[in-house]
Amino acid sequence: MLNSRPLEFPRKSPALFVLTGSALLAVILIFTTVDPWLERAGILAGGLDVHVYRDGAWKILHGLPLYTEPSNVLGLMYTYTPFSTIAFIPIDMVPWRYVTNTWLVVNLLVLFGCVLMSWRILGYRLSVPLASISALLAITCAFIEPVRTTLYYGQINLVLMLLVLWDFSRGDQAKLRGIGVGLAAGIKLVPMYFVVQFIALRQWRSAVTAAAVFAASVGLTWIVLPADSLQYWTSTFFQSNRIAVDINPANQSIRGVIAHLIGGPAPVWLWLLIAGTVAGISLAVTVSLDEHGERLLAVTLAGLTACAISPFSWGHHWVWFVPLLVYLVHKAQSKPRWWIAAAAVFLSTGAWTYHWSEDFVTIGVFMLPPSWPVAQILMNGYVIVYCAVLGGSIVVLARLPRDLPESGSPRLLGNMVGRIRKSLRVS
């Protein structure tokens, strides 16, 4: 536990009644907005990405090239690191016909684990009421688009988030803290942002551990899979077009916003300028939040920032809305008005659908028809929500006690946070 005095959830907490209703609503919406067995959309008819993972593991076990030949699943190209295929070997042990449902169950359990880990970071003690609240909140989160799409495709996002949350749930000096971040980055590069977060927090041992684990994953794979490693790190890694074009409405990142606004590829210099500025502000805020005991909000904001500044972020990358909802429910225990913020996040990130035809459905507000006037705004929905969260975090920071702990933030970050708080402090 991060707190010396664990928090408790009362057995008759209002959250239990609110979340019972939201969980019931989520289940109804999941199974009524789209036929659960509809091909390419139904929640029970997915599994595309987990089969790509399995195919990658199968290829390395049979000595086949990983990046130059399409997979056996719709001819998709493999885009993850070579190390990821080693991590996916257990999936290859599951018979093909059972892979989709098995991974769906695993992801649901991991989702529940992410909610529990978020409560742990907040300092709550595991109890029956907390487990009940967590189960209801996990079911509620199953309807938000990043989670629903992760469950549908059989994505790895929730597992990676759990690894990161596990690291941040332990004390700053805990042994081997950073392993989770290093392993997550070894599988998918975006979590490397948390190494920068460790450095900003001056948690040097955690940063070194994470970087070392990531480097070990690269080195180990280079020994085991030298040809694939050479191909990935000298060629595939730089081929961003293997994912999708910037202008794709599914690109929920700052680079995607720029492309959507100008109607073409985002200039790299402009993206780097804006993304670098946003990252700097976010680091300043997360450092101060962490030092004032708001660790869950800090790590959540960091996870959302990693999605925002990434070159390409699919909607399902934004699973960091899950710990954000945990944080909002936590705040609502003492100030019910926070339920309004939780509802706003749920509504703005929900898996709302648009039926183009009987058998073609798009999911997520950013995939509404471009002809709709509001669609031009909602196309950048997650970045808009991110900006609101960043702004809200600054307001939370402004309301915290003025004095920084003795540890202090690094001078540059501390001065920046001081200026932000001075300008926004509410008397």
Asked whether residue 3 is assigned to any structural domain, the reply reads: no
Taking Cα atoms as reference points, which of 216, 237, 104, 81 lies closest to residue 158? 104
SS in 3 state form for 172-239?
A: CCCCCCCHHHHHHHHHCCHHHHHHHHHHHCCCHHHHHHHHHHHHHHHHHHHHHCHHHHHHHHHCHHHC
Kindly give the interhelix angle for 295-309 and 381-399, rounded to the nearest 10 degrees. 150
Residue 122 and residue 296: Cα distance in Å, rounded? 6
What was the pLDDT predicted at 422?
53
Asked whether residue 321 is assigned to any structural domain, the reply reads: yes
Asked whether residue 7 is assigned to any structural domain, the reply reads: no
Asked whether residue 70 is assigned to any structural domain, the reply reads: yes
Residue 421 and residue 285: Cα distance in Å, rounded? 10
What was the pLDDT predicted at 246?
84
* Helix count and strand count (H, E) for the chain: 20, 2
Q: Tokens in use for 348?
A: 């703005």
Are the C-beta atoms of 186 and 213 separated by less than 8 Å? yes
Question: How many CB atoms lie under 10 A from the CB of residue 200?
Answer: 22
Asked whether residue 9 is assigned to any structural domain, the reply reads: no
Measure Cα distances from 258 to 87, 222, 274, 312, 318 in Å. Answer: 35, 36, 10, 12, 18
Taking Cα atoms as reference points, which of 395, 228, 384, 422 lies closest to residue 304? 384
Half-sphere exposure at residue 23, Cβ-oriented, CA atoms within 13 angstroms? 14
Q: Is the pTM above the cut of 0.85?
A: yes
Are the C-beta atoms of 133 and 11 separated by less than 8 Å? no
Are the C-beta atoms of 87 and 159 separated by less than 8 Å? no
Task: Classify residue 373 as exposed, middle or buried by CB count within 10 Å of its CB (0-12, 13-18, 19+).
Answer: exposed
Triad 236, 241, 246: Cα angle to 5° = 140
Q: Domain containing 72: what range?
A: 14-424
Say which amino acid occupies 199.
I
Q: Tokens in use for 400?
A: 């915290």
Q: How many structural domains are present in the chain?
A: 1
Q: Which residue spans within 213-335 are E strands per DSSP?
A: none
Asked whether residue 257 is assigned to any structural domain, the reply reads: yes
Asked whether residue 5 is assigned to any structural domain, the reply reads: no
Name the helix (H) or strand (E) containing 228: helix 226-234
Question: How many CB atoms lie under 10 A from the CB of residue 153?
Answer: 21
Name the helix (H) or strand (E) containing 130: helix 128-141
What was the pLDDT predicted at 69?
86
What was the pLDDT predicted at 7?
80
What was the pLDDT predicted at 173?
84
Residue 42 dihedral angles phi and psi, to the nearest 5°: -65, 140
Residue 283 and residue 309: Cα distance in Å, rounded? 12
Asked whether residue 6 is assigned to any structural domain, the reply reads: no
Helix, coil or strand: residue 41: coil
What was the pLDDT predicted at 406?
41
Each residue's pLDDT, cut to its tens digit, for the chain (427 residues) gives 444 567 877 777 888 999 999 999 999 999 999 999 998 899 999 999 999 999 999 999 999 999 988 887 777 889 899 999 999 999 999 999 999 999 999 999 999 999 999 999 999 998 888 999 999 999 999 999 999 999 999 999 999 999 999 999 998 888 899 999 999 999 999 999 999 999 999 999 999 999 999 999 999 999 999 999 999 999 888 776 667 788 899 999 999 999 999 998 999 999 999 999 999 999 999 999 999 999 999 999 999 999 999 999 999 999 999 999 999 999 999 999 999 999 999 999 999 999 998 889 999 999 998 888 888 899 999 999 999 999 999 999 998 876 554 444 444 445 555 545 554 444 3
What was the pLDDT predicted at 123?
94
